[in-house]
Structure 1
């Protein structure tokens, strides 16, 4: 993995007279220099040039011929991750001038986390060729490896984040022996040995950390039937509709992309009926796509298979519609902002407090006039997700049909109601100092439960002296807590919506009021995380 995209950058210049940068790149954990790191000083000016170097055996690099100006350091090496990757705001640029040459900088990389373990069957025998996946709490892709002949898996190059482990048994694994002589199958199993994702033992690995002996014991479960009919808005059967059956844990929490093939796929009969056999217990999504003349129809229904068949399902498909609205910002000439609708039954993994579900984003980006359109919406209940934070702005209100719905679930039944999102400048600011928090992370969580979702939780890094400063806050009361080992990348990929982390902030955080245009100063407690 390389973090420098050379082909996309301006022409690189070498050997010209100008300032000199002498620096080192060190391992965040060991503080030792790292050899072979590509370093690029990229001008912050529009179409600015870049100046490159590579670290030697001691981790040192030397770049010369750099004109005076502000630059950002881009650097990377396979197997390592920059500490500021995923940071909410980019780090301050480095000012370089010949008058202060040589400019000395120290950069840090950290080794990717690593997790190892085995997959075994109910009797403890190794399971070769099982797929082991890293399921991030906040979505954003899955690392996957296959077990070897001894059932061993090694997951390296991981993104430091909150996640659970999921093992998918190979199709050729012989079925388990049922003591009651009833048919059973091996189910996809989460670490250490549960079939429901919300019961899985969560992990959070930091950069440079290695976890061993993370063994997953597969679970055997009984099987049942799923039967129903696909109908249109008038209740008429839809023949030929494609019907898929997927569990929530096979879908990504951000993109809704399926990481596994559907566990069931069929076509509705002439009378619209469909059937799946040998379906394991759990929560399921039934998705259908069909046509009525030239119109495309789609629909989804959720249900749970427990101790019997799931029958008499009416899977309604309808023509999608477009939700229109506006985004109001005081900096209207800035880059455009996205707005998304998330089906309410899919919100658990993004930290919106439902018990189950995944996230499918139906997204629109506003134009130069602030107009936004979200296509392919079907009737249902939704949460409205916003791009947050925006530099210098906070979310003042979200209205749907003239009603304030920030943090709420809304019924979106047709295209008649309008969406209105209002950003404002001049938000509150919280700053302070935390003892022994050099380069730690301060998290601010809204006190109002409805606002405790990922886009309204804010965080910032302490500097070397333990000082922090977080601005552009939506006015209101927050819980503030400082963490010694919670890096920005972990937060970006879901740690901030980890229920365990939220519970710690609510229990041990300091209450602080962020008032519009005002600055509050606090000293929140420093918390060891993950807690040992």
Structure 2
């Protein structure tokens, strides 16, 4: 067999989004921020760095001397710096974190001489080999990471790469933390990684190839050796040797009370994947709905059949040490969900007649094993349509709402689903009505390490009341500035518990949704907030040291 390949890498990832305070005014005169970006530990300037003030979205790019200037109206912002292959160097003294640095712009008080340092983003690299020790080209290498969701921690594939003709791989543009790495070699894994793209003609077809192997020689993620990357510490030399161990088959049938559609497709993905029904990586079935998958590695998977306005629920499949036989996948009518976004009350004149075309409506499947989102943008009048939604439970996610508003209520099938799931296939099909409200409040205050010692760059989190903890948009997050002060605007009215963390894993605050021990663990540094519409609440918080959150909320 020819084992040569053109150099090819494929990288996939999902960015983490954080909520930051809104600016105070858009009518005031602009204030300038000037500064320089250099390579950490040196005075070497870095050009082409995008500097952005969030949430305003105002940005500028550094010149070849690393200098930048950015102008914005007075308010509180988070300043971020982004360039391919680099990340911000953490600087606790000046409040620089992975999220950026919190700034307060006051009228007539420009900020000059800001200095930011960036360091190379961490990488994981190594080689893959055939069982006989020869380099393995076109193997699929994937990095997994534990991610926090409102439903629990789950292992998620965050990066994917194909090895080159020497069997080498590089997973870069990573964030610091712990990973699990796997390698696989089969036609199915290549097809999934390529997502419709083609390898060069001289690359041999691996057919069923070899089973998935995790770094450390493990057959499963739970037994894999953890790989840690930290500032100044890349993970190189992570070599993986594939083994010719037994693979198995899955046989079954798609069944339906109505004739099977001619465009029937079956999605087959491992746990931790993103279920994207727009890709071309599907399994075919015979005219009678029977199907067979061969060469399947042991592990946990999910399947979903769809086509012709029909869809199945998610079907979990576990492959152990034998074939899976007589698997049944039932089809049911998919539902088209129509709805509308509106702003209640027309209380603020500047919101009257607001164009709602930027509002994104999404149905997020309730699952710890996989992520599936069905998303659309509303029209200018707020109307939207989500076509062919399959059976299952979904949370309604509303994003990119007009500045200063929040999602006050969501109704479907005669029920309030703001804090509950939309049950497709159970609830009567009805309009999905989303109501926004401009009546928000403000939470501001100060965080200290101990008396009279401010804590800059600390992440302040407002955790909502229990019934709303499955809603990502009700976790309000911001950073303290260099003086330890913070201000969170546009906060929905309600009851919250406030915490200040020196450092936590991305979105680890979702652990409050499903693990009561987390609340008990930090109760002595918590502050209760009961925010009414239009009010301002001030807090004094004690910073929770990073030593108490190292390794996550486990």
TM-score above 0.5: yes
Q: For residues 186-229 of structure 1, what are the alpha-carbon distances to aligned partners after superposition, in whole Å with 9 as ceiling and x for unaligned?
A: 43244555555577677675666533465656577644432333
Aligned residues: 466
Whole-Å separation in 1 of the counterparts to 2:536 and 2:224? 42
Whole-Å separation in 2 of the counterparts to 1:402 and 1:500? 26
**Which of 37, 45, 67 is the equivalent residue of 1:35?**
45
**Which of 532, 536, 541 is the equivalent residue of 1:522?**
541
The alpha-carbon deviation at position 433 of structure 1 amounts to: 0.8
1:379-398 matches, cutoff 5 A: 379-387=391-399, 391-398=403-410
Q: Does residue 440 of structure 2 align to residue 426 of structure 1?
A: yes
Whole-Å separation in 2 of the counterparts to 1:406 and 1:384? 7
Give the corresponding residue for 1:155: 171
The alpha-carbon deviation at position 103 of structure 1 amounts to: 4.4
Q: Runs of 5+ in structure 2 lacking a partner?
A: 1-10, 12-30, 90-95, 148-154, 190-207, 345-350
Whole-Å separation in 1 of the counterparts to 2:36 and 2:484? 23
Whole-Å separation in 2 of the counterparts to 1:328 and 1:239? 37
Q: Does residue 362 of structure 2 align to residue 340 of structure 1?
A: yes
**Which of 95, 99, 104 is the equivalent residue of 2:113?**
104
Whole-Å separation in 1 of the counterparts to 2:372 and 2:340? 21
TM-score using structure 2 length: 0.66
1:210-225 matches, cutoff 5 A: 210-212=234-236, 214=238, 222-225=246-249
Q: Does residue 483 of structure 2 align to residue 456 of structure 1?
A: no
Give the corresponding residue for 1:511: 526
Whole-Å separation in 2 of the counterparts to 1:191 and 1:449? 40
- Which structure carries more relative contact order (alpha carbon 8 Å, separation 6+)? 2
**Which of 362, 371, 389 is the equivalent residue of 1:377?**
389
Tell me if the contact between 1:230 and 1:241 (Cα under 8 Å) persists in the aligned partners.
no
Whole-Å separation in 2 of the counterparts to 1:404 and 1:309? 44
The alpha-carbon deviation at position 279 of structure 1 amounts to: 3.1
1:399-414 matches, cutoff 5 A: 399-413=411-425
Whole-Å separation in 1 of the counterparts to 2:245 and 2:273? 21
Give the corresponding residue for 1:238: 260
RMSD of the TM alignment (CA)?
5.0
Give the corresponding residue for 2:299: 282
Give the corresponding residue for 1:227: 251
Residues 201 and 240 (structure 1 numbering): CA distance in 2 closer, same or farther, change over 3 Å? farther
Give the corresponding residue for 1:166: 182
The alpha-carbon deviation at position 302 of structure 1 amounts to: 0.9
Residues 467 and 502 (structure 1 numbering): CA distance in 2 closer, same or farther, change over 3 Å? farther
The alpha-carbon deviation at position 406 of structure 1 amounts to: 3.1
Residues 167 and 527 (structure 1 numbering): CA distance in 2 closer, same or farther, change over 3 Å? same
1:49-88 matches, cutoff 5 A: 54-56=63-65, 61=67, 77-81=83-87
| SS of 2:526 mapped into structure 1 | strand
The alpha-carbon deviation at position 464 of structure 1 amounts to: 1.4
Tell me if the contact between 1:476 and 1:513 (Cα under 8 Å) persists in the aligned partners.
yes
Whole-Å separation in 2 of the counterparts to 1:162 and 1:42? 28
Give the corresponding residue for 1:477: 496
